[in-house]
Amino acid sequence: MSPLAHRRFLKMNGLGNEIVVLDLRGGDVRVQPEEARAIAADPASRFDQMMVLHDPVTPGTDAFVRIYNTDGSEAGACGNGTRCVAWAMLDDPEMSRASARAGSDRLTLETRAGLLAVVRVSAVDFTVDMGAPRLSWDEIPLAEPFPDTRRIELQIGPIDDPVLHSPGAVSMGNPHAVFFVDRDPDTYDLARIGPLLESHPIFPDRANISLARILDRSHIRLRVWERGAGLTRACGTAACAALVAAARLRLTGREATVTLPGGDLRIAWGEDDHVRMTGPTELEHEGTFAPALFAGASAPSGAA
């Protein structure tokens, strides 16, 4: 039997970005890709990202968070999920009991992409310091050198009349390509275009694909195909990448509201080079994983 059987989880969302929070602190269980896919396939625990809490690795942090996409792959960062983790660790009766800072309004979380400081700004809203964007071609990463990643040579469609072209490339702990468009992003067939671009050879680690329309210098409309998850109602790291990409081209200032299908995020690229994202969280329900859920997951869980 999978050690995840009967484990309690929280089903949450950040602007409609579906999030599952699973607490595995205090043990050595680690989620396997097959198990993540099984959890994502169940309607009760469907997620865009699953945020799995493990014991802290770096002294002074509150938890190490592994982030799983629906296809079982791991992501380095998820802004909307990080806000949900903060709410769970501070406010959920069971998860907060294991949190040293329960009752506080600040946490420091660690992911594969680095440390993330989170601050509560209201009962359900949190600001996440997503760190500094990575803008060099080899840090994003791209498969070949581009001295200027504000616009890279990539297009889809006829060479003389491309549907999309010249995206800005940014890493916010995961790679992003941001295409600036002059009409509503909803008018593009992102469900068809997204998978083609996500796996383009220029992106050795695949990429999140965003369509951004500049409404004014402080407002961006965004639609996202998320690497390993597909179309999503919101993506926090994509919102951060869009603001950075727009500001680098002087299309906006260094602070803007980013409107996604699920709602608004406030993004600020500070003078310290850190990008901060502010937005809400929502608890939908809690549940436990039925043992039958993992009947097709052949690989056992192992040590973290």
Cα–Cα distance for residue pair 109/53, rounded to 1 Å: 9
Tally Cβ neighbours within 10 Å of residue 60. 8
Would you identify the CATH topology of the domain 155-273? Diaminopimelate Epimerase; Chain A, domain 1 (3.10.310)
The predicted pLDDT at position 300 comes to 45
69 marked as part of a ligand binding site: yes
**Token couple for 198:** 């996500």
80 marked as part of a ligand binding site: yes
The structural domains of the chain, with segments of one domain joined by +, span: 8-130+282-293, 155-273
296 marked as part of a ligand binding site: no
- Residues serving a catalytic function are 78, 235
237 marked as part of a ligand binding site: yes
49 marked as part of a ligand binding site: yes
CA atoms within 13 A on the CB side of 8: 9
**Token couple for 82:** 């990080």
Are 202 and 176 in contact by the 8 Å Cβ rule? The answer is: no
The predicted pLDDT at position 299 comes to 45
Tally Cβ neighbours within 10 Å of residue 66. 19
The predicted pLDDT at position 301 comes to 44
Q: 8-130+282-293 domain in CATH 3.10.310.10?
A: yes
- For the chain, list residues with pLDDT below 70: 100, 102-103, 297-304
271 marked as part of a ligand binding site: no
Q: Name the DSSP class of 154.
A: -
Q: Is 23 helix (H, G, I), strand (E, B) or coil?
A: strand
C-alpha separations of 102 from 74, 154, 239 in Å: 27, 47, 29
Residues in the chain, overall count = 304
The predicted pLDDT at position 175 comes to 97
81 marked as part of a ligand binding site: no
Fold match between domain 8-130+282-293 and domain 155-273: yes
The predicted pLDDT at position 102 comes to 61
Burial class (CB in 10 A: 0-12, 13-18, 19+), 118: buried
C-alpha separations of 244 from 148, 177, 207 in Å: 14, 11, 16
Cα–Cα distance for residue pair 291/215, rounded to 1 Å: 48
